[in-house]
Amino acid sequence: MVDVCITIENNSKGRIKKELSISQKLIVSKFYLETNSLYSIKKIDKAAIANSFTSALALFEIISNITLDKYVKRKSIIQSVLHSEIFIDWRFPQEIILNSFDYFEGAILVDKRIEHLKTILSLVLKTSSFEELQTSSSRMKYGLEYFKKMDRDLGIGFVSSYMFYNLLKLVTPDNKEITQSSISEAHKRNLTISALAHMLQTSFPDFVEDEDDLDLLIKSYNGGVDIHVEFFSNFCLHKFIENEQPAKNDFIDLGHLFYLNDNMHIVSDDNLFEKLGIKSIKTQNLVS
């Protein structure tokens, strides 16, 4: 589904300026705080915060799942994050993915969802109850319900397991013989890169019009999200071999890997990352 809040413009200078401002901060960042670690941000040592960052995706997860029972706690978390000195990468994964394909070189993603996210986060801080938040948000075109719907759709937007499985079936029809060792790393990598390219084609059909364009897009991958490619591939293959269905939030959780580079640790109390062998540490290790 094409989201009207996301468009592409040709603005190479704007893209370069934005990427430099983000990369200069991320070069010195050692830790990425994913969603559940933000619950303890008040306890994290200030020196660790200075070497950390979080993301629009993490804040989106907090706001999209806010309910009457969770309002007070989540409002407090949002306030703590926004009033802290932690750097926030205000990009959703789609922008990071797009920048990982040179096919879109010179193009800049205009993602109005970020503006809407900042607005709804500010609204949470101004309200005193969940009812007030709901009432105020209902007057907005892109209010709370928009982000709740986005949460439901995001698993598909990231690259669903089914797309990966279907690609796998096309090239290895005898499913019973598939093992972790029978599928080469290069093959797994190519499947996931192809799936990411298909996602971009679905999101921006005016820019990737046919199979020839798609082929050029796939070949233009520049390695920008290699950490996600590696671990997403292994995760999907494991689920496929074991005939397991992914948990509801697995794909959003794995979306945090788009923000990582080789020098970073993800700070998380979710065992998923540890099981996948991703460099991760528990939040308590950063508590002063």
* Separation of alpha carbons 217 and 166, rounded Å: 20
* Separation of alpha carbons 244 and 44, rounded Å: 36
Per-residue pLDDT, 169: 56
41-80 exposure pattern, b = at least 16 Cβ within 10 A, e = fewer: beebeeebbeebbbbbbbbbbbbbebeeeebeebbebbeb
All structural domains of the chain with their residue ranges: 6-286
How many degrees, rounded to 5, is the angle at CA 99 between CA 26 and CA 6? 105
pLDDT 10s digit of each residue in the chain, 288 long?
455 567 777 655 445 455 555 555 565 578 999 999 999 999 999 999 999 999 999 999 999 989 999 999 999 999 999 999 999 999 999 999 999 999 998 888 888 999 999 999 999 999 999 999 999 999 998 999 999 888 877 765 555 555 555 555 555 555 556 666 667 788 888 888 988 898 888 888 889 999 999 999 999 999 999 999 998 888 887 777 777 777 767 788 889 999 998 889 999 998 888 888 888 899 999 987
